[in-house]
Amino acid sequence: MKTYETLHEAINGLKKQGYNLDFNLQEDCIECGETGPLDPDAFEITEVHRFEGMTNPDDSSVLYAIEGKNGKKGVLVDAYGAYAGSLSTRMIEKLRIQH
């Protein structure tokens, strides 16, 4: 897995690898216009990249490279811990950084 210096660089690098969709996080799934909702059993996280804000801790984020079981690939950007209070237990477990 390649290491990226910035979130922008990582997104561009993953797009070159075919991760062209932009997923949005919902309470119990991820979704984008092309795939509709994908529950936690319908996708795999293939890469995780963490970025910490140099001057502001609020700028910290996580980039997930995601591949759906339907073959569609995309990215999901989330702030550290932002999902903890608003997601189902299944989604929190799926997004837990274990890489």
Helix (H, G, I), strand (E, B) or coil at 5: coil
What is the pLDDT averaged over residues 37-54? 90
Domains of the chain: total:
1
Q: What percent of the chain has pLDDT over 70?
A: 84
Band of residue 40 on the pLDDT scale cut at 50, 70, 90: very high
The average confidence (pLDDT) of the chain is: 86
2 domain residue, yes or no: no
Query: Is 67 within a domain?
Result: yes
Do 42 and 4 form a contact (C-beta atoms < 8 A)?
Answer: no
Task: Specify the 3-state DSSP secondary structure of 19.
Answer: coil
For 59, the domain range is 7-95
Domain assignment present for 75: yes
pTM: 0.84
Q: What is the pLDDT of residue 43?
A: 95
In a domain, 13, yes or no: yes
Q: Is residue 1 part of a domain?
A: no
29: number of Cβ within 10 Å: 21
Place of tokens 């811990």: 81
4 within 8 A of 14, measured Cβ to Cβ? no
Q: What is the CA radius of gyration of the chain?
A: 13
pLDDT over 90 percentage in the chain: 53
